[in-house]
Amino acid sequence: MLTLRSLRAVLGGRPVLHGIDAVARAGRVTAIIGPNGSGKTTLLRAIAGDLPHSGSVAIDGAEVARLKPWDLAARRAVLPQATTLAFPFTVAEVVRLGLTAGPHAGRSELVEPALAEVDLPGFGPRLYQELSGGQQARVQLARVRVQVWDPVVAGRPCWLILDEPVAALDIAHQLAVMRVLRRYADAGGGVVMVLHDLNLAAMAADEVWLLHEGRLLAAGSPAEVIGGAELARAYGCPLTANRPAPPGATFVLPHALWAGAA
């Protein structure tokens, strides 16, 4: 269980998170949504233990601020919103970066299955910088996956903490990654990710957190949060949530598609 209590964070002298209380459960997929600048990345960094904060962030009872880097690496793997690489690494070398610490450290045999999982089988010897943007994003996902390959280690869940993991991916690969994350959660792991695509969040998440100006405006099921009145308020534009027949996931269409909007 990931427990946030009165979580506050300050960046550049400005408060960015204003006291967030929330719980994410292993075995479930939690999606964080909200407009640009609402604090999603800051929240993920605090959850990951990478950002000084006040209040409490605990992963399965352990306060992240007090965990040693090795112990943090054993419990969660983090995909940042943007990754830059200064050296001409091969794809396999990039994925192996995920095996420098954590429960599977050094287990190079995980590289190929992780690449296959993101639909890049056999890409290990290729130069990372010579891949497309979406392919590079999938390599980064593979790097994160190998670090916490098994969803449960010694009876304790591992966590995937992902900032916009599918922003660069085509629709088929977005869905494929969502299936990977679903399997991970179904096997007992925890998944917390930032998504901008509300329809993907509605389809893929069990729990949705809606951030607005550094506050948790709503939390609950996709139907409650994405289908709720707070959504349009958070984004500041008219939105209507619908449910297709036969009943399925909530989906959202912006009003500007029809008429009237400037």
Ligand X SMILES: Nc1ncnc2c1ncn2[C@@H]1O[C@H](COP(=O)(O)OP(=O)(O)OP(=O)(O)O)[C@@H](O)[C@H]1O
Q: Going by C-beta distance under 8 Å and a sequence separation of 6 or more, which residues neighbour residue 181?
A: 29, 160, 162, 165, 191, 193, 204
Cβ–Cβ < 8 Å for 57, 47 = yes
Least distance from ligand X to the Cβ atom of residue 261, Å: 22
Residue 218: strand pairing partners: 210
x-or-dash string of contact with Mg ion, 64-103, rule CB under 5 A:
-----------------x----------------------
**Which of the stretches 31-39, 107-115, 142-150, 151-159 binds ligand X when contact is defined by CB under 6 A?**
31-39
Contacts to ligand X from residues 38-77, by CB under 6 A: 38-42
Side-chain-facing half-sphere of 147: CA atoms under 13 Å: 26
- Dihedral sign for Cα 36, 39, 42, 46, please: negative
Place of tokens 């075995």: 27
The Cβ-side half-sphere exposure at 37, using a 13 Å CA radius, reads 4
Number of residues engaging ligand X in binding (CB under 6 A): 13
Q: How many residues bind Mg ion (CB under 5 A)?
A: 3
Q: Which is nearer to ligand X, 33 or 178 (CB)?
A: 33
Angle between the N-to-C axes of helices 171-186 and 133-147, in degrees from 0 to 180, rounded to the nearest 10: 10
Name the strands in the sheet holding 207-212, side by side, starting at the edge strand that comes first in the sequence. 76-79, 159-163, 190-194, 29-33, 207-212, 215-220
Minimum CB distance to ligand X smaller for 11 or for 237 = 11
Query: Between residue 18 and residue 57, which ones bind Mg ion under the rule CB under 5 A?
Result: 40-41
Name the binder of 37 from Mg ion, ligand X, none, CB < 5-8 A by kind. ligand X
Q: Is 162 in the site for ligand X (CB under 6 A)?
A: no
User: Per CB under 6 A, does 37 bind ligand X?
Assistant: yes
Nearest approach in angstroms of CB 37 to ligand X is 4
Q: Does residue 12 interact with ligand X by CB under 6 A?
A: yes
Q: Which does 30 bind (CB under 5 to 8 A by kind): ligand X, Mg ion, none?
A: none
Judged by DSSP in three states, 148 sits in coil
Contact residues: Mg ion, CB under 5 A:
40-41, 81
* Residues forming the site for ligand X (CB under 6 A): 11-12, 14, 16, 34, 36-42, 81
